[in-house]
Amino acid sequence: MELGELLWYSNNKEKFDIRKIIRILFLISPIILLGFAIYENNLWHPPLNPNVPQYISINDLRSHPEAYPPPMKVIMQGLVINKNKTSNFLILEGGTMGPFRVNCSNLDISFINTGVIIYLLGVSYFNDPSKNYFLAENFEIQQPTYTTYLSIPGALLILIILFVGFKFSLKDFSFSRKTKEGVQDA
């Protein structure tokens, strides 16, 4: 280490350490997001505004049917495991709480096959023991999505941008500009 560099470090030791600490804090910041995700994953809260359709999971609806009384609109996603053509009922996978019955009497479900994932918009009657079903008003079959596969060339382009457009240092796992020309412009 040169004397000048050593002097710089000794004069700016505090500043240097703070930068390192801040960098570590920035690096671990996604833990906050992960914490929120874990918290949210185990959380259920009652709807605040019954006029807005509630997008919830099948489990939440089955666990708290009283919170979603008719005519509140509910949206959910589920896997079709059975179909009754005569009664126009769909049976969705309901997890530990048993099959999830969907009344599709107002809909044409002839082209819904078992094994597909559908989005349902309708009204829940699970708080009414005489009915105990979900009355569907609209549905949308989830199509195969290729976004993950189409994102692979995108991810490769990002890596090219990072490793060609910037200088990578393995020493501290950092990127820096190859030229300061543009920075001075800014």
Partner 1 sequence: MPDWLTHMGIAYVVIWGISKIPELNSKLRAYFWLFIIGMVAPDIERFFTVVAQVIDNAYFTALTFTFITVTHSILGVAIISLFITSFFPHEQQRDTKFIYLTLFIGGLGHLMIDLIMWPWPGMGLNLFYPLAGSEFSYSFHLVWPWNFTPLFITSIILLGTVLIDAISRNFSVFRWQF
4 is a contact residue toward partner 1 (CB under 8 A): no
How far apart are alpha carbons 60 and 77 in whole angstroms?
12
For residue 100, give the 3-state DSSP assignment: strand
The encoded tokens of residue 84 equal 């009754």
Q: Which positions ≥6 away from 54 have C-beta within 8 Å?
A: 47, 68, 72, 73, 74, 75
How far apart are alpha carbons 167 and 182 in whole angstroms?
15
- Cβ neighbours of 11 (radius 10 Å): 10
How far apart are alpha carbons 70 and 96 in whole angstroms?
24
Choice between 14 and 85, CB closer to partner 1: 14
Residues 84-103 that bind partner 1 (CB under 8 A): none
- Interacting span for partner 1 (CB under 8 A) from 1-9, 106-114, 125-133, 144-152: 144-152
9 is a contact residue toward partner 1 (CB under 8 A): no
For residue 107, give the 3-state DSSP assignment: coil
145 is a contact residue toward partner 1 (CB under 8 A): yes
Q: Which of 1, 2, 3, 29 binds partner 1 (CB under 8 A)?
A: 29
Q: Give min distance, CB of 41 to partner 1, in A.
A: 5
What's the gap between Cα 18 and its chain centre?
A: 34
The encoded tokens of residue 14 equal 């505090």
Quick check: 155 and 129 in contact, CB under 8 A? no
Choice between 83 and 121, CB closer to partner 1: 121
Q: Which of 1, 4, 5, 37 binds partner 1 (CB under 8 A)?
A: 37
Choice between 110 and 145, CB closer to partner 1: 145
162 is a contact residue toward partner 1 (CB under 8 A): yes
**Chain positions contacting partner 1, by CB under 8 A:** 19, 23-24, 26-27, 29-30, 32-34, 36-38, 40-41, 45, 47-49, 52-56, 73, 75, 119, 121, 138, 140, 142-148, 150-151, 153-155, 157-158, 161-162, 165-166, 172-177, 181-183, 185-186
